[in-house]
Chain A
Amino acid sequence: MAEEPVAVVGIGQTKHVAARHDVSIAGLVREAAVRALEDAALTWSDIDAVVIGKAPDFFEGVMMPELYLADALGAVGKPMLRVHTAGSVGGSTALVAANLVAARVHRTVLTLAFEKQSESNAMWGLSLPVPFQQPLLAGAGGFFAPHVRAYMRRTGAPDTVGSLVAYKDRRNALKNPYAHLHDTGITLEKVQASPMLWDPIRYSETCPSSDGACAMVLTDRAGAGRAPYPPAWVHGGAMRSEPTLFAGKDFVSPQAGRDCAADVYRQARITDPRREIDAVEMYVPFSWYEPMWLENLGFAGEGEGWKLTEAGVTELDGDLPVNPSGGVLSTNPIGASGMIRFAEAALQVRGRAGEHQIDGAARAVGHAYGGGAQFFAMWLVGSQPPPG
């Protein structure tokens, strides 16, 4: 028996900010969930199950916070499943929820991911003073910057490309009312003049630290038929993992990422992603990851990703817009960041992305990754139901 087609009929986000001092953790997730239900014109009783994700529990200092959040998310008496796959978790969580519908275990599922970074400090959570381990010598950016340098060495990309991505994403964010950073005075010169934190990564090429949540309502074909607004249909979804470190690991273009994309394209019958996909929401926490992932996800040949960025192909009005929402570079509630990518892709094909809508977007990709560039999650959504 073929899988049940899965439709995204409701999407909700909080306005992402550095610190939501006005709400509890429950209040934060609730806000996104209620908006998703309203978008789908559904109530709590229409939801069969809740699938929730977030990054490490140390970030809020609550072990398995889904237990405390059951009441706020209307999960009492229902199944509630908690997913944790590091930075890719927002994407993985959505895929687990989609599988519940695809397998016909449930008809309508609420999925949600969040992070309330202001409760603690992510760097503290990531660098607990574990004895005998070398302390992290360089902070978060220091983990990624050497890989960026390796990419530049490998491809000959000019050192200006990172700034172009940041300038584009921060301008896109101005069109997204939910984005965290809204720097109306942004200029390319300002981006290029910002301090070099972890050479070759500048301050303005790094993501912010945000409080936020994102929720989606996923449902079956019958549920999609009752939805008040056009649904986004899931045409393919996959997760791939590889070890944190291993001999032969390609940090610049991890095989898990390539395999994940290939699986999604196979499911969605995509043979030429660059031509057939209309918008991409990829997980770019440091600007250089845009050209790197363009290659890893098959949008550009090896060594060619930066050329697309430099040529403006990934701009909002380019022929392959990347991160029209402003991306992780503009909004980063860590555990939610992956789901925001998935949700923004769905908004595009639903035609409900507002000012950052790509005209006529029919197929869009949402992508997330995490850990030591080892966990990948990706989906491809379309405005039409999948064939077959």
Chain B
Amino acid sequence: MRDVAIVAFAQSPHRRRTDELSEVDLLMPVLHEVLGATGLKANEIGFTCSGSADYLAGRAFSFTMALDGVGAHPPISESHVETDGAWALYEAWVKILTGEADTALVYSYGKSSPGEVRDVLTRQLDPYYLAPLWPDSVSLAALQAQALIDAGHTDEAALTAVAARSRTDATANPYAQLTGDVPAGDHLVHPLRTGDCPPIGDGAAAVVLAAGDTARSLCDRPAWIRGIDHRIEAHSLGVRDLTDSPSARLAAQHAGAFERPLDTAELHAPFTSQEVVLRRALGLGDDVRINPSGGALAANPIMAAGLIRLGEAAARIHRGASDRALAHATSGPCLQQNLVAVLEGESAHG
């Protein structure tokens, strides 16, 4: 199997609203930055793949206009996933493994500000039994949090501590939306307080992937993808054990996460309680630095937040702060679908 690495990562500042920016306006500086970091031009990239969702902004085919920011002329080899950009990265990784491309540009963006994200995400649910009840994303996460509390795996104070740690860490992240001393707040949906929930906002992110020696030539310390896998669970919440994430564990196993110790994990846990679920499912102990970027609790641009976890983990390897990191992305209600990648710096396995 070819060695493939994340060689560059860029993201926008994440903000509650970006009314002055169209999606392409939001995305373009990020694309320029990530390409600039490698010195590659768009038409030198072997494969391009993006992730976004029409439902966020309420317009069909929004990704077709975002392509304007890439400069896709002469025509490019390109694809799109209607989900988080982490899965676009997965598709691009596969493309490089085939040998048909040596480099890939992966990007994603989400503008949550035009709509009511809690209502919009209800449209992700089973359209016969669930969607007609309009159970919003915070309420579903709260059901999961209560199950965790009932099982004795956490309590409200522990959840508050997850939020505080994340936003304290985020003070060192210039792109984060919600940082520093954020009050726990009232119950938004009991047992989750406003502080347990992610900020709603707009943002974009991009990474460049490259194979083998190309990666080495583009980046001083590439973040090698030692394994990447994703798994999905049953849709109905009532058939799942909400306190566990067997799909995250299975993905991690296939990605080789358990073969050697990790020093860092970037977990896509928009709600504090979901970090608890993932830490347990992935067996992450106190020796692993969790979400040094602040995670999705500091910035959660939907459809980009998972890709950002991969980018943040890679950037930490790029600058030598990590040797072996786990990056995780999720999709669907209550962690229904999970992706795990294991990234390493060169010296770690030499």
A239 pairs with B79, CB closer than 8 A: yes
B321 within 8 A of A: no
Residue of A67, A78, A239, A244 near B65 (CB, 8 A) is A244
B64 pairs with A374, CB closer than 8 A: yes
B266 within 8 A of A: no
A255 pairs with B97, CB closer than 8 A: no
A42 within 8 A of B: no
B78 within 8 A of A: yes
Q: Mark A70-89, 1 if CB is under 8 A from B, else 0.
A: 11000111111111111000
A365 within 8 A of B: no
Per the 8 Å Cβ criterion, residues 217-265 of A in contact with B are 238-244, 246, 254-256, 259-260, 263
A71 pairs with B99, CB closer than 8 A: no
A311 within 8 A of B: no
Total A-B pairs, Cβ < 8 A: 177
A117 within 8 A of B: no
B124 pairs with A63, CB closer than 8 A: yes
A137 within 8 A of B: no
A89 to B230, CA, bound (A): 21
B79 pairs with A96, CB closer than 8 A: yes
Question: What A residues does B82 contact at CB under 8 A?
Answer: 57, 64, 82-84
A22 within 8 A of B: no
Q: How large is the interface on B (under 10, 10 to 19, 20 to 34, 35 or more residues)?
A: 35 or more
A58 pairs with B60, CB closer than 8 A: yes
Nearest-neighbour CB distance to chain A for B200, whole angstroms, equals: 16
A67 pairs with B55, CB closer than 8 A: no
B53 pairs with A64, CB closer than 8 A: yes
A62 pairs with B72, CB closer than 8 A: no
Q: Mark B45-69, 1 if CB is under 8 A from A, else 0.
A: 0001000011100111101110110
A125 to B246, CA, bound (A): 36
Question: What B residues does A69 contact at CB under 8 A?
Answer: 235
Q: How large is the interface on A (under 10, 10 to 19, 20 to 34, 35 or more residues)?
A: 35 or more
B80 within 8 A of A: yes
A62 pairs with B67, CB closer than 8 A: no
Evaluate whether A84 and B63 lie within 8 angstroms (CB atoms) in the complex, with A3-B99, A24-B128, A63-B121 already known.
yes
A105 pairs with B68, CB closer than 8 A: no
Question: What B residues does A62 contact at CB under 8 A?
Answer: 123-124, 127, 131
A99 pairs with B95, CB closer than 8 A: yes
Evaluate whether A71 and B98 lie within 8 angstroms (CB atoms) in the complex, with A244-B67, A259-B75 already known.
no
B58 pairs with A67, CB closer than 8 A: no
A56 within 8 A of B: yes
Question: What B residues does A67 contact at CB under 8 A?
Answer: 124-125, 232, 235, 331-333, 336-337
A323 to B234, CA, bound (A): 38
Nearest-neighbour CB distance to chain A for B349, whole angstroms, equals: 21
Nearest-neighbour CB distance to chain A for B245, whole angstroms, equals: 12
A96 to B100, CA, bound (A): 12
The 6 closest A-B pairs by CB, nearest first: A103-B97, A256-B75, A84-B82, A241-B78, A56-B60, A63-B123
Interface residue ranges, A against B (CB under 8 Å)? 1-3, 24-25, 56-58, 60-65, 67-71, 75-86, 92, 96, 99-100, 102-105, 125-126, 128, 130, 238-244, 246, 254-256, 259-260, 263, 371-372, 374-375
- 25 pairs, CB–CB < 8 Å, chain A vs chain B: A2-B99, A24-B128, A58-B54, A67-B331, A67-B337, A68-B126, A77-B246, A77-B250, A78-B232, A79-B229, A79-B232, A80-B337, A84-B80, A84-B81, A96-B91, A99-B98, A103-B97, A125-B60, A128-B59, A241-B78, A242-B76, A244-B67, A255-B74, A256-B75, A371-B64
